[in-house]
Amino acid sequence: MGKNRSEDIRSIVMTGHGGSGKTSLTEAMLFTNGNITRMGTVENGNMVSDFSSEEHKRQISINSSLITMERAEKTVYVLDAPGYADFIGEMRSAMRVADSAAIVVSGLHGVEVQTGKAWEFAEDFQCPVIFYISKLSRENSDFERILGEIRDELTDKAMPLFLPIGKEAGFKGVVDVLARKAYIYKGDGSADYHEEDVPADMADMVSEARESLIENIVEADDELMMMYLEGDEISDEELHKALRKAVSERTIFPVVPGSSTINVGVSQFLDSVISALPSPLESRPRSAMKGEEEVSVSPDPEGEFSALCFKIMVDPYVGKLSFLRVNSGTLTTDQPLYNVNREEEERISSFKQMTGKEGNDLKEVVTGDIVAIPKLHSTHVGDTLSVKGSKLLYPPIQFPKPVYSVALEARSRADEDKLSTSLHRMLEEDPTLHFKKNIETGDSVLSGMGDLHLDIVLARIKERYGIELDTHTPQVPYRETIRKTAKAQGKHKKQSGGRGQYGDVHIEFSPLPRGEGFQFEDKIVGGAIPKGYIPAVEKGLKEILPKGVLAGFPTVDFKASLVFGSYHDVDSSEMAFKIASHLAFKKGMMEASPVLLEPIVNVEVVVPEEYLGDVMGDFNSRRGRIMGIDSKGRLQVVKAQVPLSEMFRYAIILRSMTSGRGNFSMEHSHYEDVPEEITKKVIAARKEALEEE
């Protein structure tokens, strides 16, 4: 492949619900285009875009993969993104850089949860969309029904460019609505078809669809609108040009029917990608910051080079591959690359046009190219790459927050030493992963988008680095506080010959509003305790705060007022007053009506309407409070507040409860008192755990 011209590039991200047929469509496109001689299948693990061992093992797409193909003298970049909620970050990052999106909708199941999420992302990025209604050769598939769902639940601007000929097992071809031509396939899985007149029984339907499509197309062009209203003939060339404009401006969302497994309609879909979707020069400008100023970067091949790194992949043979989309300018391999975020130069060995795991080298990239660069050292996902001296920064990719966590334990000391390095590399490759050493609980917590996501991450760590890890449910970061005011004396007196130890404090403990933390007040008058010892009292309290009197959890939201005390000229010391403050804390807290606090999270669940009752009932069983319910087409959005302790396995439970059709997000809200019966269980469990340690 030689140098590209920006006007001859198309880039598209394949999105949709898991199992809707995105990867099968990508494979059929490669076969139809002559890039491969036979189509692989998910079951056989031989598809071009699903090439990792975990994808073969689990028979699902896990990573977004880049496919490059040449068709009609155009370079088409296809980003095949996973459709499962656990890997939604891959879909979002690919949508950020592609010029268009294909939303694949199952001809059987219609608009599902992740279909809606793909549409939501396209709305976020103002990305043109083409719909592909898949699996139309399958029993119970129905093009008209699914088109109706798309119009009702996503957009009423969805317009068929093609209509299916035949239904279910009789699906054998498509009709070009604008050209009024029928394409009948051999039905043997080959890409071969022949042209015919529109079937007589479809003539009225095609005429109606054509009239509706033309009415929507001419709205994008004032001149054509006048011609249409005056009854003048509009040429096919003028219509196709206006269609491209309407699609680019998101006033029309084309719909193409097909069946990838029998390869019907795939050729027309590919041609529609080239003819109806925008080139990089027609694509949306990209927003960026230049210092404090927000700027819009035009897709100009003659402008300053700038690109966004949207993905990092570790290849067992090549090493680290950084994937980037060129937003402006041109660059050759003999020019230095500059990471604006890290303020570091990067050396380019080659630009690789990827097709699955295989790559072809390029010497030059232009605006709109999507390529991989091996062995960039400082570059991370979301970094802006440009030329030295550039101040242009693209905003980082906003990834969804993790919803599932496990605590990690290495099986050996050697594995523990290697764990930090391996996790750092995994986090670099997957921005939806989070890792945190919880100081309050001591857990090493790995968080991601679901149990499947984390299972795969742990499998990769074992495969790549040979590290064996055990996992368990993380300790809930409970806290303790008090509900009333109490005063306590702490007196530390020790004399055993020679210099002794003496510290005596009277401290009043009183509750503070939630979130206020710890406050210390010195109310000593008349020199009952010398000024030099008072900081030791405060320090002693801060030392013992992490070990509350109920169950050894951190104590928060209270005020300690040092009101009185005594000292000894010879035996008093800072250490003695610290110990005295510990004694006062333990006694005073027990008398101040201590209570356990638990974290409460805001949860938002999106499910099809038929699962609404199950979800609400399940929240009630989890001590949750329903805060509201909204509708999004056939989907219901349930907002609730739930104790974190009830949410650790929710990703698994929701998937089971909704047959994989529900997803959710959550974030910390606040702390609340733990009910008494739960408090007893937590204290007993904590005591047992501390004894084992």
The per-residue pLDDT for range 340-371, each reduced to its tens digit, is 999 999 999 899 999 888 889 999 999 999 99
The tokens describing 173, both together, are 């071809």
Please tell me the predicted confidence (pLDDT) of residue 481.
Answer: 97
Residues 32 and 55 in one domain: yes
Cα distances (angstroms) measured from residue 564 to each of 490, 521, 522, 526, 543: 11, 12, 9, 10, 21
134 compared with 634, residue with greater pLDDT: 134
Cα distances (angstroms) measured from residue 6 to each of 3, 250, 369: 10, 21, 8
In a domain, 692, yes or no: no
Residue 22 has pLDDT above 60, yes or no: yes
* Average pLDDT, integer, range 45-58: 70
The tokens describing 456, both together, are 């795969």
Residues 174 and 260 in one domain: yes
pLDDT tens digit sequence for 656-680: 898 777 888 899 999 999 999 999 9
Residues 186 and 115 in one domain: yes
Question: Rounded to the nearest 10 degrees, what angle do helices 266-276 and 236-248 cross at?
Answer: 80
* Average pLDDT, integer, range 644-661: 89
* Average pLDDT, integer, range 627-646: 92
134 compared with 429, residue with greater pLDDT: 134
| Pairing relationship of beta strands 370-374 and 319-328 according to DSSP bridges | antiparallel
Residues 504 and 446 in one domain: no
Residues 6+ apart with CB under 8 A from 223: none
Q: What CATH number is attached to the domain comprising 612?
A: 3.30.70.240
Please tell me the predicted confidence (pLDDT) of residue 498.
Answer: 67
* Average pLDDT, integer, range 432-452: 90
Residues 524 and 512 in one domain: yes
Q: How far apart are CA 437 and CA 391, in angstroms?
A: 35
Residue 539 has pLDDT above 90, yes or no: yes
Please tell me the predicted confidence (pLDDT) of residue 57.
Answer: 73
In a domain, 691, yes or no: no
Find where tokens 């698994």 sit. 652
Find where tokens 């996503």 sit. 154
Total domains in the chain come to 5
Residue 190 has pLDDT above 60, yes or no: yes
Residues 29 and 177 in one domain: yes
Please tell me the predicted confidence (pLDDT) of residue 3.
Answer: 64
119 compared with 220, residue with greater pLDDT: 119
Q: How far apart are CA 256 and CA 266, in angstroms?
A: 9
Q: How would residue 55 be classed by pLDDT, with cut points 50, 70 and 90?
A: low
Q: What CATH number is attached to the domain comprising 292?
A: 2.40.30.10
Q: How far apart are CA 385 and CA 342, in angstroms?
A: 10
Residues 22 and 62 in one domain: yes
Residue 654 has pLDDT above 70, yes or no: yes
161 compared with 441, residue with greater pLDDT: 161
The tokens describing 158, both together, are 């969805």
Q: What CATH number is attached to the domain comprising 112?
A: 3.40.50.300
In a domain, 503, yes or no: yes
Q: How would residue 54 be classed by pLDDT, with cut points 50, 70 and 90?
A: low
pLDDT tens digit sequence for 79-126: 999 988 888 899 999 999 999 999 999 999 999 888 988 999 999 999
Contact 561, 523 (CB under 8 A): yes
Cα distances (angstroms) measured from residue 685 to each of 477, 550, 642: 14, 12, 21
Residues 6+ apart with CB under 8 A from 613: none
Q: Which of 476, 480, 526, 529 is nearest to 507 (CA)?
A: 529
The tokens describing 136, both together, are 């139309």
Cα distances (angstroms) measured from residue 584 to each of 269, 531, 595, 693: 76, 19, 18, 27
Q: Please identify, among 592, 617, 640, the residue that sits at the C-terminal boundary of a domain.
A: 592
Residues 509 and 528 in one domain: yes
Give 442-507 as a DSSP string.
--EEEEES-HHHHHHHHHHHHHHH---EEEEPPPP--EEEESS-EEEEEEEEE-SSSS-EEEEEEE
Q: How would residue 1 be classed by pLDDT, with cut points 50, 70 and 90?
A: very low
Contact 646, 624 (CB under 8 A): yes
| Pairing relationship of beta strands 65-71 and 9-16 according to DSSP bridges | unpaired
pLDDT tens digit sequence for 398-407: 998 888 999 9
Contact 501, 493 (CB under 8 A): yes
In a domain, 689, yes or no: no
Residues 326 and 343 in one domain: yes
Burial group, residue 637, by CB count within 10 angstroms (0-12, 13-18, 19+):
middle
Residue 128 has pLDDT above 90, yes or no: yes
pLDDT tens digit sequence for 546-558: 999 999 999 999 9
Rounded to a whole number, what is the largest CA-CA distance in the chain?
114
* Average pLDDT, integer, range 243-256: 96
Residue 497 has pLDDT above 70, yes or no: no
Q: Please identify, among 570, 592, 614, the residue that sits at the C-terminal boundary of a domain.
A: 592
Q: Please identify, among 393, 421, 456, the residue that sits at the C-terminal boundary of a domain.
A: 393
* Average pLDDT, integer, range 164-184: 96
Q: Which amino acid does the sequence have at 604?
A: E
Residues 6+ apart with CB under 8 A from 518: 541, 542, 545, 555, 556, 557, 558, 559, 560
Q: What CATH number is attached to the domain comprising 450?
A: 3.30.70.870
In a domain, 295, yes or no: yes
Residues 193 and 276 in one domain: yes
* Average pLDDT, integer, range 480-493: 96
Residues 308 and 339 in one domain: yes
Burial group, residue 241, by CB count within 10 angstroms (0-12, 13-18, 19+):
middle
Report, in angstroms and rounded to the nearest whole number, the Rg of the chain calculated over CA atoms.
Answer: 32
Calculate ∠ Cα 87-90-96, nearest 5°.
Answer: 145
Identify the helix (H) or strand (E) that includes residue 664. Answer: strand 663-673
Please tell me the predicted confidence (pLDDT) of residue 60.
Answer: 77
Q: Which of 259, 310, 286, 270 is nearest to 64 (CA)?
A: 310
In a domain, 276, yes or no: yes
Residues 6+ apart with CB under 8 A from 509: 482, 485, 486, 487, 488, 558, 559, 560, 561, 585, 588, 589, 592
DSSP state of 328: E
18-52 residues labelled b (16+ CB within 10 A) or e (exposed): bbbbbbbbbbbbbbbbebbeebbebeebebbbbbb
Structural domain harbouring 535: 479-592
State what percent of residues in the chain have pLDDT above 70.
97
Residue 174 has pLDDT above 70, yes or no: yes
Please tell me the predicted confidence (pLDDT) of residue 42.
Answer: 67
DSSP state of 293: E
Cα distances (angstroms) measured from residue 291 to each of 384, 555, 585: 14, 43, 51
Q: How far apart are CA 275 and CA 28, in angstroms?
A: 19
In a domain, 688, yes or no: no
- Start-to-end Cα distance in the chain: 62
Q: How far apart are CA 447 and CA 407, in angstroms?
A: 9
Please tell me the predicted confidence (pLDDT) of residue 47.
Answer: 74
Q: What CATH number is attached to the domain comprising 551?
A: 3.30.230.10
In a domain, 398, yes or no: no
Please tell me the predicted confidence (pLDDT) of residue 368.
Answer: 97
Q: How would residue 655 be classed by pLDDT, with cut points 50, 70 and 90?
A: confident
Residues 368 and 468 in one domain: no
* Average pLDDT, integer, range 516-532: 93
Question: Rounded to the nearest 10 degrees, what angle do helices 222-229 and 236-248 cross at?
Answer: 130
